[in-house]
Amino acid sequence: MAGAAKNRRQGKGQDEIAEAVNGNGNGNAHAARAVLDDEPRENIFLLWPNIIGYSRIVLAFASLYYMPLHPRTCSLLYSVSCLLDALDGYAARYFEQSTRFGAVLDMVTDRCTTACLIVFLSSAFPRWAIVFQGLISLDLASHYIHMYATLAMGGAENSHKNVDKSRSRILSLYYTNKTVLFVACALNELFFIALYLLSFSSPLLSPSLLQSNASAPADGTHHQQILNSSLLTHIFANPHSAAALELARANKMDSFWPWVLAGVSFPVMALKQIINVVQLVKACKWLAEGDLKARRAAGLPRKRKTA
């Protein structure tokens, strides 16, 4: 009897909550929602991995601001932005905050920052502009089609990093091995950073560096005045001003280490472009397979009647 009475009380309590949720109770709908909705609320835009992603964007914009005439400052800001790419993935796994928005934010940031740097290189080395334009197009096309194919063929819940070995061994290794992914992306960016530094340091690649500044005083007092400027003015200097131009010329860089970095990272950069080509081809074939299945399901192509 006691058990039956307890069950009746529990059933009555559940009915009261259900009535309150449906708005049929005595003004207790909000309290019932609090009882049922006891899960913690989250703001996806303020998760730690996404906050790191926003920081990457800010650093990337800052590097673009200093890119025309401040190679050291630009390289430092750009490199930190790239290194944070690994940190946001670690934060997503550590805090269990992996989201689709975060994945898209990460990919878009990667593509845009790399494209902006290569655009600068195409203006710094105009003879190679068509090569740089091709690299931008390949990078954007391969990643876009790969992600679209993953969503269309693998489902909305499938990540673009989940590549089966049967589809492509090299893509599976690239996306599933975190060490391979980090080294490939880091050295790919390092090669373009090295080229950027060479545009300020190597007369072989930038013959304009051989031109002297005829308008500057011979005693170098103007250079010394600029070098003795305050740290705050140096950090927030206008990169397009005449003073910034003089400062860049007064602090010409040695091309030794940029050449070393370019030589070490070039093979990995080339491999990364090969992976982009493989990714593009495999994604196109995957989409074509889906199109064939869809056309067969629709009875296409239709057999034409013969006379």
Q: Which residues are catalytic?
A: 110
Task: Give exposure, 51-79, as e/b (b: 16+ Cβ within 10 Å).
Answer: ebbeebeebbebbbbbbbbbbebbbebbb
CA-based nearest residue to 170, from 284, 282, 285, 290: 282
- For residues 60 and 53, give the distance between their C-alpha atoms in angstroms, rounded to a whole number: 11
- For residues 307 and 305, give the distance between their C-alpha atoms in angstroms, rounded to a whole number: 6
Q: Would you say 279 and 272 are in contact if contact means Cβ atoms under 8 Å apart?
A: no
* Residue 241, CA atoms < 13 Å, CB-side half-sphere: 9
Amino acid present at 122: S
- For residues 32 and 35, give the distance between their C-alpha atoms in angstroms, rounded to a whole number: 5
Instruction: Give me 222's structure tokens.
Output: 């103007």
